[in-house]
Amino acid sequence: MQRLIGWIAAAFVPAIIGAPFTAPDYYRRLRTPDWGPPSGVFGPVWSVLYLLIGISAWLVDRRGGGGPALRLWWVQLALNAAWTPLFFGLRRPGVALAEILAMWGTIVATTVAFLRHRLAAGALLLPYLAWVTFAAALNFAIWRRNR
């Protein structure tokens, strides 16, 4: 149980890193697409995703032999942690867009590695991949509208 809690706690580190950088006033001033969700949606969605991300790593770790897959997991997590400071802290949607595309590719690689290691672990990352795909499209739309 301690290892599960540890993996889940690690998965929430990007939220802790990003918390000081949230800038609701900045986001409200941006021209966003009509299909963008209200800002209150992001916190609950990310909370569920971080939980799934942590459980997926625990499933790989629990089975053993997942070193390369777990290294990818740490890389995607570090990229995840970098996005909020880039977008909100530096207020650089273009830089954040390049970063989220790198994150997306790393999530794909992690998902594939996890699927090969343990099907359930990879499947738990699919909602995360879907959300980051949506977030990348939203980031792109914001960048285009606010250049």
Which pLDDT does position 39 carry in this prediction? 84
Which pLDDT does position 118 carry in this prediction? 95
Alpha-carbon distance of 46 to 29, in angstroms, equals 22
Judge contact between 53 and 11, C-beta under 8 A: yes
Instruction: Find the angle CA(43)-CA(45)-CA(47) to the nearest 5 degrees.
Output: 70
Alpha-carbon distance of 42 to 54, in angstroms, equals 18
Q: What is the mean pLDDT of residues 97-123?
A: 98
- The predicted model scores a pTM of 0.95
What are the structural domains, with CATH classification, of the chain? 2-145 (1.20.1260.100)
The structure tokens listed for 102 are 């790198």
Q: What is the mean pLDDT of residues 27-53?
A: 95
Which pLDDT does position 64 carry in this prediction? 87
Per-residue three-class SS string for 103-125: HHHHHHHHHHHHHHHCHHHHHHC
Tens digit of each residue's pLDDT (9 = 90 or more) over 55-105: 999 999 998 888 999 999 999 999 999 999 999 999 999 999 999 999 999
Our measurement of the distance from residue 125's CA atom to the centroid of its chain's CA atoms, rounded to an integer in Å, reads 10
Which pLDDT does position 65 carry in this prediction? 81
Which pLDDT does position 24 carry in this prediction? 84
Within 10 A of 74 (CB to CB), how many other CB atoms are there? 13
